[in-house]
Amino acid sequence: MNAPATLTYREALKLAIRAAIERDPRVFLMGEDVARYGGCYAVTKGLAAELGEERIRDTPLSESAFVGAGIGAALAGMRPIVEIMTVNFSLLALDQIVNTAATLPHMSGGQFAVPIVIRMATGAGRQLAAQHSHSLEGWYAHVPGLRVLAPATIEDARYMLAAALADPNPVLIFEHVMLYNANGELDPAVTAVDIEKAKIRRAGRDVTLVTYGGSLPKTLAAAETLAAEGIEAEVLDLRVLRPLDWDTLAASVARTHRCVVVDEGWKTGSLAAEISAGLVERVFFELDQPIARVCSAEVPIPYAAHMEQAALPQPEAIVAAARALVRPA
Amino acid sequence: MSHAKLRLDHAHLLHLMRELLRIRVFETKCAELYQREKIRGFLHLYDGEEAIAVGIMQALRPDDAVVATYREHGQALARGVPMDRIMAELYGRQEGLCRGRGGSMHLFDRERRFLGGNAIVGGGLPLAVGTALGDSMQGRDAVTACFFGEGAVDEGEFHESLNLAALWQLPVLFVCENNFYSMGMALDRAESNPDIAAKAASYGMPSEAVDGMDVLAVEVAARRAVEAIRGGGGPYFLECRGYRFRAHSMFDAQLYRPREEIETWKEKGPIARFRHWLEDSHLVFEDEFTRLEAEVTDEVAAAIAYAEAGTPEAVDDLTRFVTLDEVPQ
């Protein structure tokens, strides 16, 4: 197969899950409606028929129990992939993720590893209102012991899972709901990705736009608009939200001397706040302007389309923030 | 005491008595060491409940798993976790089981498949479902014994986990240590129906209420339960009714229960009762008790000496084990 294959983000995730389960008898996937229904976002559609309901396992609506069961299965030698339908429901399993998965290796003095992968949808944009639109990956990125991934491209959707399963520590994968239908090509020469480094998705000399996940397409669109104005923006896709790749972040900002952080989380106490503070600690004297942030408005995400869109980071706001840094009034 | 199906040979009876005494003497010393500020943090002692852990552990094999509570010194000792390593952990030494990272509430021992004291009430139940799932998916006939107090019955995890274990017919022995108070909250003030065994039965698993003050009764029930589980019968529930002789932790004035109630329970305490029975039945003689007590006292003294001679973990190793480089085998 030499020609690049075109597929959706959803299909890329599914390929990853199938490959992982076929490769390793210890790998299985469980979650709500993953088997017979085919997954809330249809990621696992058809997989149960192919791989069996032992390996693609429907659970009751008991987030705490099935996430905890995943942790226990990992302790017993399995390599579980637990799908939580959305980050919103992960709050019902917060105790297991934060108090158990993240603490056990350290608390046991290194006696027990928790090699579990927990996938969940995140983000807003589908008019699902406040209880189905949270972007709480920044909360999880606060917690030592967890690795937090945000695949924003077809390639990362396809290959991050294998790397996550190879990690002896708990890994959380956040899939933005607006990305599932995204189309793209897979380079047949690429068969693996790292889960360590951020990636420059677009090179530019004037300003660094730091983002991740569902905000990457918006940020790339903003960079195109800026380019038409003669502003060359560098777009940095974090990919890994914990631990952050400070080397790539600092190097980029040291080149461009300006930085806008785009994060669908709320601004207060956000990942964007951490990135801003971390850059100030590292490259303060490289900065020509204060770091700017484009985040969600501090409201529960509303239902009505115009209000929802008004609450979320938009390309226009990213453009305006970058322009203000590069061409201050 | 009537105990069908149990071999009451002299060596086994002495073994049980020794195990009960080891916990009682250990806990008595812990209280003393706490007053002397050798042990700090939260300390929850097991006096009065020794027969539960000792009885249950008789039915387990080395390849079985144990999920414990934060009142778990007794569970650890009865499982065979070395007393000196436990004491060194309470001292916060690097010779401790968890190199001083866990303390009293978080004893882990990989070698004995002791999966830790969990300090979140109910937090261990999902984990136990998971180790049982992992074992059964790998074709092992190991059982997971999951200890929790009656306070866990208030938590959603209790219900989610019992349901999941029964639904998937997993090899879990649920051991409810019902001491009638979750901290200061009396069972009948917390539960609309305080019959815990009946609640468990409603999930479709065999369930028994056992006299948790009678080590032989607990052992008989545990052997019956483990045999049923290993025979493929799915989970089994034992509600072991006992009483905590001491305060909840070292910061508890016990305003919530009358002193006479404590005294009444102490009279039927597990050690006094077993000893009287052994004496009345002419199964164990006075000099054997004396020797046993001396040996146990020596063992505890040696454990304290080991902890006293222990060394503090290097602060440079503070962040060691937050994440692991490989899954310990």
Average pLDDT over residues B229-246: 96
Per-residue pLDDT tens for A31-65?
A: 999 999 999 999 999 999 999 999 999 999 999 99
Q: Residue A3: which pLDDT band, with cuts at 50, 70 and 90?
A: low
**With an 8 Å Cβ cutoff, is A68 touching chain B?**
yes
Q: Is the pLDDT of residue B19 over 70?
A: yes
Q: Do B120 and A99 touch (CB under 8 A)?
A: yes
Q: Name the 3-class secondary structure at A212.
A: coil
Q: Cα(A30)–Cα(B235) distance, rounded to whole angstroms?
A: 20
Closest CA–CA distance from residue A46 to any residue of chain B (Å): 22
Average pLDDT over residues A228-240: 98
**With an 8 Å Cβ cutoff, is A60 touching chain B?**
yes
pTM as predicted: 0.96
Asked whether the beta carbons of A93 and B127 are under 8 A apart, the reply is no
Asked whether the beta carbons of A173 and A118 are under 8 A apart, the reply is yes
Q: Do A75 and B321 touch (CB under 8 A)?
A: no
Closest CA–CA distance from residue B267 to any residue of chain A (Å): 38
Instruction: Examine the residue annotation and report whether A132 is marked as an active-site residue of this protein.
Output: yes
* Structure-token pair, residue B137: 């998916």
Residue of A nearest to B128 (CA): A72
Q: Percentage of residues in chain B with pLDDT exceeding 70?
A: 98
In this complex, the residue of B110, B130, B326 whose CB is nearest that of residue A111 is: B110
Average pLDDT over residues A72-87: 98
Q: Do B120 and A107 touch (CB under 8 A)?
A: no
Instruction: Examine the residue annotation and report whether A134 is marked as an active-site residue of this protein.
Output: no
Q: Do A199-326 and A5-186 have the same topology in CATH?
A: yes
Per-residue pLDDT tens for B139-193?
A: 999 999 999 999 999 999 999 999 999 999 999 999 999 999 999 999 999 999 9
Per-residue pLDDT tens for A104-156?
A: 999 999 999 999 999 999 999 999 999 999 999 999 999 999 999 999 999 99
pLDDT given at position A5: 74
Per-residue pLDDT tens for A90-102?
A: 999 999 999 999 9
What domains lie within chain B, and their CATH numbers?
10-306 (3.40.50.970)
Per-residue pLDDT tens for A9-25?
A: 999 999 999 999 999 99
Q: Cα(B230)–Cα(A193) distance, rounded to whole angstroms?
A: 43
CATH class of A199-326: alpha beta
In this complex, the residue of B118, B134, B160 whose CB is nearest that of residue A64 is: B160
pLDDT given at position A4: 61
Q: Residue A280: which pLDDT band, with cuts at 50, 70 and 90?
A: very high
Strand bridging mode A183-186 / A5-8: antiparallel
B172-178 β-sheet, strand order = B114-117, B65-68, B144-149, B172-178, B236-241, B207-211
Average pLDDT over residues B299-313: 97
Spot the catalytic one: A132, A134, A137, A274: A132
Report which of A201, A189, A173 is spatially closest to residue A43, judged by C-alpha positions. A173
Range 105-164 of A in CB contact (< 8 A) with B: 105-113, 115, 144-145, 147
Q: Name the 3-class secondary structure at B115.
A: strand
Residues of A in contact with B133 (CB under 8 A): 69, 72-73, 76, 78
In this complex, the residue of B98, B115, B130 whose CB is nearest that of residue A70 is: B130
Give first-to-last CA distance, chain A, whole Å: 53
In this complex, the residue of A68, A77, A108 whose CB is nearest that of residue B127 is: A68
* Structure-token pair, residue A142: 């606060």
Residue of A nearest to B162 (CA): A65
Asked whether the beta carbons of A194 and A200 are under 8 A apart, the reply is no
pLDDT given at position A117: 98
Q: Give me the interface pTM, i.e. the ipTM.
A: 0.96
- The angle subtended at Cα B195 by Cα A99 and Cα B67, nearest 5°, is 30
Q: Where are the domains of chain A?
A: 5-186, 199-326
Per-residue pLDDT tens for B309-325?
A: 999 999 999 999 999 99
Interface test with B, best of A54, A64, A84, A167 (most B CBs within 10 A): A64
CATH of region A5-186: 3.40.50.970
